[in-house]
């Protein structure tokens, strides 16, 4: 029996998803386990896989099947899947094979070098590799922009956040900038009046790992389909059936690794609960990077730093590290809700966090649109950090523009997802609280079942079936609004 056009497409995308699975695990291994000497060969292998999948995806036959499938009788889910297939095909078809390979190789090279360049504060060495990544990213942005009739940055933004534009971002972030600096100043001033006791280490890595695993268990992580490891920069990777999360440990500091794990567990629970009934299909994938970040920030900030959850976690901390004045309940909660502007985005409190994101968004957009060059980044970074947070990064590249790996692989257009994610998370938590009047009491009892059922029903089970706008409207009754994020910050910190 002859296959329909749609069936030919689903078979092709199942094959592509299997290659993506292998690439994802090879990338995780590169970040977490691979010895340094394997870098070049692994980079070449991953580039080869990128080229292979690009060839399969951009085959003319795929375009013909899409045109044919559009005329076939499909149900709602199949129609949504076809929309996503067409989007993947069109995105890939804009890029020549040579550019796909060059970008993959340059990204692997830049990330691997960053691991030693960052501890050595070696901006000179890092910027040489970054220049090549930026050059190739600009080529990609130019090709995409010409095809779509939009700005170069918007063309890259669309990869991560479909239908989002820098004009809409400017409005959302402009609103944020109108009230966040004042809120930050007031929250900081309020907290200055209270002396807090810092937790006293050392906190052995092995015991921190045990605590992280305990938190993952509390939060419903499926250990039969995932694991926790160590990397230079925390991340969540793998596939829904095999989710890999990582953190990094500092024996003098207890909470950054723990909340890194809680953050990545939010990503992992989303992945582990994506729909399984459409294997290998784009409709099965996470909706967008901002929705993905909304889940990690929902876990880390909305839930994880709530007084009810912190209180629930405290006995596990005392059991492993012993009692000390810093773990007196009031002090411990205040310590984990303190607002203290710092250099590092992944360690930032949720009030100052958006500053790190808006700063990067403004720099990366100017970089891709050709308004600035790589050499201009450190001075701009310092200027914006001083304006937002009163901190100087002059000469301190390690804690400034070299602090993480997002730009090493050309992931320009991703950064706005973090603050969009924080906004979505606040809106979702507000809606969940309205739907679940007992939520606070449940959290205090360590019972998250109703909350996770709500997330499963409203976000997780839908994958990419709906647009981001439709998904959030279905879940909360309205499209994205920054007002819930503001209300949340004011309630918790003022």
DSSP-derived 3-state class of residue 239:
strand
pLDDT attached to residue 1: 85
Mean pLDDT, the chain, as a whole number? 96
Q: Find out whether 293 is annotated in a ligand binding site.
A: yes
- Asked whether the CA dihedral 34, 51, 166, 474 is positive or negative, the reply is negative
**488 marked among binding-site residues:** no
CA atoms within 13 A on the CB side of 191: 22
pLDDT in tens, 109-139: 999 999 999 999 999 999 999 999 999 999 9
Q: Provide the CB-side half-sphere exposure for 113 (13 A, CA).
A: 19
Instruction: Give the three-state DSSP class for 337.
Output: coil
* pLDDT tens digits, 385-442: 999 999 999 999 999 999 998 899 899 999 999 999 999 999 999 999 999 999 999 9
The pLDDT-based confidence of 79 (bands split at 50, 70, 90) is: very high
Nearest residue to 379 (alpha-carbon basis) of 391, 394, 366: 394
Catalytic residues: 264
**Cα–Cα nearest to 359, from 335, 391, 331:** 391
What pLDDT is stored for residue 194 in this prediction? Answer: 87
pTM given for the model: 0.95
Residue 267 is labelled as binding a ligand: yes
């Amino acid at each position: 029996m002859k296959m329909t056009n749609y069936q030919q497409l689903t078979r092709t995308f199942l094959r592509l998803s299997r290659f993506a699975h292998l690439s994802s695990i090879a990338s995780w291994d590169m970040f977490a386990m691979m010895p340094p000497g394997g870098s070049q060969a692994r980079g070449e292998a991953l580039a080869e896989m990128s080229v292979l999948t690009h060839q399969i995806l951009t085959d003319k036959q795929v375009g013909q099947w899409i045109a044919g499938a559009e005329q076939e009788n499909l149900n709602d889910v199949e129609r949504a899947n076809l929309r996503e297939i067409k989007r993947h095909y069109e995105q890939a078809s804009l890029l020549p094979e040579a550019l796909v390979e060059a970008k993959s190789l340059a990204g692997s090279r830049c990330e691997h070098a960053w691991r030693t360049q960052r501890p050595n504060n070696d901006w000179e060495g890092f910027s040489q590799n970054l220049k090549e990544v930026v050059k190739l990213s600009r080529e990609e942005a130019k090709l995409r922009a010409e095809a779509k009739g939009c700005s170069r940055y918007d063309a890259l933004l669309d990869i991560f956040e479909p239908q989002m534009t820098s004009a809409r971002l400017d409005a959302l972030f402009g609103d944020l900038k109108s009230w966040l600096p004042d809120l930050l100043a007031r929250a900081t001033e309020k907290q200055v009046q209270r002396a807090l006791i810092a937790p006293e280490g050392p906190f052995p890595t092995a015991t921190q790992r045990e605590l992280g695993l305990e938190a993952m268990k509390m939060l419903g992580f499926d250990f039969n389909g995932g694991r926790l490891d160590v990397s230079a920069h925390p991340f969540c990777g793998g596939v829904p059936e095999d989710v890999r999360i990582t953190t990094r440990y500092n024996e003098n500091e207890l909470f950054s690794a723990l909340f890194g794990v809680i953050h990545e567990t939010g990503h992992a629970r989303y992945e582990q609960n994506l729909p399984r009934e459409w294997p290998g299909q784009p409709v099965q994938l996470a909706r967008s990077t901002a929705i993905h970040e909304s889940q990690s920030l929902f876990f880390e900030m909305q839930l994880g730093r709530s007084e009810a959850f912190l209180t629930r976690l405290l006995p596990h901390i005392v059991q492993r590290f012993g009692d000390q004045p810093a773990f007196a309940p009031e002090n411990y909660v205040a310590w984990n809700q303190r607002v203290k502007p710092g250099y590092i985005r992944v360690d930032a409190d949720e009030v100052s966090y958006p500053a790190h994101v808006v700063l990067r968004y403004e720099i990366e957009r100017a970089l891709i649109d050709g308004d600035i060059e790589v050499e201009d980044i450190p001075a701009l970074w310092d200027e914006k950090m001083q304006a937002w947070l009163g901190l100087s990064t002059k000469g301190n590249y390690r804690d400034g523009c070299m602090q993480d790996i997002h730009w090493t692989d050309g992931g320009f257009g991703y950064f706005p997802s973090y603050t969009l994610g924080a906004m979505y998370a606040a809106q979702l938590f507000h809606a969940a609280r309205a739907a679940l009047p007992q939520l606070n009491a449940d959290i205090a009892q360590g019972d998250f079942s109703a909350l996770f059922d709500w997330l499963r029903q409203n976000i997780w089970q839908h994958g990419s079936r709906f647009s981001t706008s439709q998904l959030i409207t279905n879940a909360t009754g309205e499209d994205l609004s920054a007002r819930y994020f503001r209300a949340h910050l004011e309630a918790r910190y003022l």
